[in-house]
Structure 1
Amino acid sequence: MTSPLLSVRNLKVDIPSGSGTLHPVRGIDFDLHRGEVLCVVGESGSGKSLTSLSLMGLLGRTLERSADRMEFDGINLLGASGRQMRKLRGARMAMIFQEPMTSLNPVYTIGDQLIEALLLHRRMPRAQARARAVELLEKVGITAAASRLGQYPHQLSGGLRQRVMIAMALMCEPQMIIADEPTTALDVTIQAQILRLLYDLVREMDMAMILITHDLGVVARVADKVAVMYAGELVETGTVAEVFDQPLHPYTRGLLDCIPQPGKTGRGEPLGTIPGIVPSLVGQVDGCVFRTRCTQAGPACLGPIPRRSRDGHLFRCVHTDGYAPAETKAI
């Protein structure tokens, strides 16, 4: 098998505070290959966006990032200087941020914001860069693309702004793109169009994509692999079929129970819920972080939680017996 484009081992993010150190991201391991779509799912506050920002080197100065390994195409992202990261961002790794309404600068035209990456990374003549911008706006489904270059963000709808953000991320044909809940502010019809567009572009351009979402319906449509995140940890990782058909972690099962199933969930029938709240991650975090909300919790959940494997389907739980440890594998 080819070496991964992105390889992450034991990624942690810590936030010092007056009451102690907050640990919102803990022990993240995964690999991402070219042409692959990895969906990271979990409820709000589980650490999905912080994980993506740490990969891009966009964390605030007060946040502390560490990892045993974090390599992108053989480049050590942990040891990269600010100048090296600026050369990577936008050129070889790009990000579509969560909120299209505020991600564009309101005082610059769409054209100026689109061509900036090409002028910076490729030293391309302005006229050629504008032609590339028109080409990509058309590719993402924006009509009258040339006339849009002179418009400002407030003159575009939310759906059009999101398409501009996608075009901006693709300007330099990056090898990897991170999409952080790119359809949150859009209506259902536009959501489906944007997701299909991203999926088709990944396949067409042979990019790798990390798609962050809390919508399991989205995951079922576009993912190759799924990583379920809870309270800063990846608690289960596998293919879509493995995670959806045979979920091995109680949290994953809880998420799936919250979704109405055609032919099984009757009209007016209550959906499943996950009781309780996410525990505090300030100070020392021991045992299974899901134990306060889990119906299977017992004394063993207070100790170390091993990572286990079922034919490559990885999970963290002490209550699923008969599976081999997976301490040396990425989850």
Structure 2
Amino acid sequence: MSDPILSVRNLTIDIPMSQNTMHAVRGISFDLKRGETLCIVGESGSGKSLTSLAIMGLLSKKLQRAATRLDFAGIDLMSQKLRQMRDLRGNRMAMIFQEPMTSLNPAYTIGDQLAEAYLLHRKATRVQARMRAIELLGKVGITAAENRLSQYPHQLSGGLRQRVMIAMALMCEPELIIADEPTTALDVTIQAQILRLLADLQREMNMAMILVTHDLGVVARVADKVAVMYAGEVVEQGTAKEIFGHPRHPYTRGLLRCIPVPGRSKPGEHLGSIPGMVPSLVGRVKGCAFRARCDVAEEACTAAIPERRMESGHAWRCIHQAAERLSP
């Protein structure tokens, strides 16, 4: 078996406050191999985007990042200085941000923004960078690519801006790409096109991809692995088949009840919902963070919840599982 290109162990992100600390991300661990897609799913505020920014080294200086292992292709990301991270970002690892209108610089043309990383990391000429930009714009489905280079972000539609962001991320053929809810602001038709495009490009370039989303329909279409986050913690992770076919954690089951199932959900039928609110992560978080919203919670849920794991790698944190189904 090939080694993972990205290995994360016990990643935590703390946000210092005036009189306390918010534990925004708590003990996240996962592995990702070349060519695989990991979908990180969960409610807004669960820590998905912070996890992505922590991997890229883009967190605010006020936030405190720690991990027992944060390894990318044999490189310890925790020990990399700013210049070393700049050599990696945009080159071997890249990110597609959630809102392209705020991620693209309105003062520069599309061509200048596409060429910047290529000029920096490939030591290429401007002519070479321009040709590469035209090639990538065509690859992501933008017509009249050469004419687009002189345009500014405000002159493009939302779908075109998102395609430009994808092309920008792919300029240097990265080994890892992180897409932070890349289809949130787009209509359904464009969403499907962007997801199909990302999947095709990933296969073509054999990239590892982390897709951050709260849309389980997206997850079902593209994921190899799924990590379900709740209140800053991964409560369940496994293959897409395991998560959708045999969910173990009550939160995962609750999420799946909230979406219609083709062939099973009847027209007009009420979908499920998860009552209550995500708990505060300020100060010490005790026991299972989901217990106040869980219909099978017990007194034991107030204590530390150990991780359960099957031989396949399917893992979750909950006391309500049959012991005979677990690996030793």
TM-score (norm 1): 0.97
Deviation for aligned residue 1:310: 2.1
Q: State yes or no: 1:317 paired with 2:318.
A: yes
Give the percent of matched residue pairs that are identical in Structure 1 and Structure 2: 71
Where does structure 1 lack aligned partners over 5 or more consecutive residues? Answer: 327-331
Q: State yes or no: 1:50 paired with 2:75.
A: no
1:175-197 Cα shifts (integer Å, max 9, x gaps):
00000000011000000000000
In 1, Cα distance between equivalents of 2:170 and 2:242:
31
Deviation for aligned residue 1:269: 1.6
Equivalence for 2:308: 308
In 2, Cα distance between equivalents of 1:325 and 1:302:
24
What amino acid maps onto 1:214 in structure 2?
H
In 1, Cα distance between equivalents of 2:135 and 2:262:
41
Equivalence for 1:329: none
In 2, Cα distance between equivalents of 1:152 and 1:320:
55
SS of the residue aligned with 1:317? coil
Deviation for aligned residue 1:309: 1.2
Aligned counterparts, 1:221-236, within 5 A: 221-236=221-236
Equivalence for 1:161: 161
1:32-71 Cα shifts (integer Å, max 9, x gaps):
0000000000010000000000000000011000000000
1:276-321 Cα shifts (integer Å, max 9, x gaps):
1000000001100000100111111011111111232111111113
Contact 2:140–2:167 (8 Å) recurs in 1: yes
1:231-257 Cα shifts (integer Å, max 9, x gaps):
001111111111001100000000000
In 2, Cα distance between equivalents of 1:275 and 1:66:
32
What amino acid maps onto 1:254 in structure 2?
G
SS of the residue aligned with 1:38? strand
Q: State yes or no: 1:140 paired with 2:136.
A: no
Tell me: CA distance 1:180–1:174, structure 2 relative to 1, closer, same or farther (3 Å). Answer: same
What amino acid maps onto 2:320 in structure 1?
H
In 2, Cα distance between equivalents of 1:37 and 1:72:
15
In 2, Cα distance between equivalents of 1:277 and 1:299:
20
SS of the residue aligned with 1:236? strand
Contact 1:132–1:171 (8 Å) recurs in 2: yes
The range that moved more, 306-315 or 199-208, is 306-315
Backbone CA RMSD of aligned residues = 0.9
In 2, Cα distance between equivalents of 1:221 and 1:148:
31
In 2, Cα distance between equivalents of 1:79 and 1:209:
23
Contact 1:307–1:325 (8 Å) recurs in 2: no
Deviation for aligned residue 1:101: 1.8
Deviation for aligned residue 1:264: 2.1
In 2, Cα distance between equivalents of 1:253 and 1:52:
24
What amino acid maps onto 2:39 in structure 1?
C
SS of the residue aligned with 2:91? coil
Contact 1:288–1:305 (8 Å) recurs in 2: yes
In 2, Cα distance between equivalents of 1:71 and 1:105:
31
Contact 1:100–1:158 (8 Å) recurs in 2: yes
Deviation for aligned residue 1:9: 0.2
In 1, Cα distance between equivalents of 2:171 and 2:34:
18
What amino acid maps onto 2:138 in structure 1?
E
SS of the residue aligned with 1:78? helix
Q: State yes or no: 1:94 paired with 2:94.
A: yes
Equivalence for 2:216: 216
Deviation for aligned residue 1:133: 0.3
Matched positions, count = 326
In 2, Cα distance between equivalents of 1:108 and 1:310:
51
Equivalence for 2:121: 121
Equivalence for 2:283: 283
Equivalence for 1:180: 180
The range that moved more, 205-214 or 310-319, is 310-319
TM-score (norm 2): 0.98
In 2, Cα distance between equivalents of 1:121 and 1:263:
50
Aligned counterparts, 1:29-44, within 5 A: 29-44=29-44
Aligned counterparts, 1:14-93, within 5 A: 14-93=14-93
Q: State yes or no: 1:203 paired with 2:208.
A: no
